[in-house]
Amino acid sequence: NAGVTQTPKFQVLKTGQSMTLQCAQDMNHNSMYWYRQDPGMGLRLIYYSASEGTTDKGEVPNGYNVSRLNKREFSLRLESAAPSQTSVYFCASSERAGRADTQYFGPGTRLTVL
């Protein structure tokens, strides 16, 4: 089992460019999440998908869109990248979207917006 995989590992964008971060899990989990990690801020939830076919905003959704493509895959799109979106992005999954459910994290995507 690969667990949670993310592509790409690194990306540099210019302001205004768009890109999609890909995430896939092979644990048959129902719920998936996108976080961003910034120094001194911990992890903040951008969007989550409690189950296939549903998505909801998290704490910091502005400037992002998501697609739950199927049970395995959950992508994060930046339509017009801004320097404030320079961050490390983590995808995670859990069996359910409950507060007691352990989340499993991917290795992250380091994004720089110039």
Contact positions toward another protein, by CB under 8 A? 4, 33, 40-45, 48, 58-59, 90, 92, 97-108
Of residues 59 and 79, the one with the C-beta less far from another protein: 59
State how far the Cα of 26 lies from the Cα of 52, in Å rounded to an integer: 14
Of residues 58 and 63, the one with the C-beta less far from another protein: 58
Of residues 2 and 14, the one with the C-beta less far from another protein: 2
What residue type is 73 in one-letter code? E
Q: Smallest distance, Å, CB 110 to another protein? A: 9
Q: Smallest distance, Å, CB 82 to another protein? A: 22
Residues 6+ apart with CB under 8 A from 100: none
Neighbours of 21 (CB within 10 A): 23
Sign of the C-alpha dihedral computed for residues 100, 101, 102 and 106 taken in this order: negative
Q: Smallest distance, Å, CB 69 to another protein? A: 21
State how far the Cα of 76 lies from the Cα of 22, in Å rounded to an integer: 7
Of residues 44 and 77, the one with the C-beta less far from another protein: 44
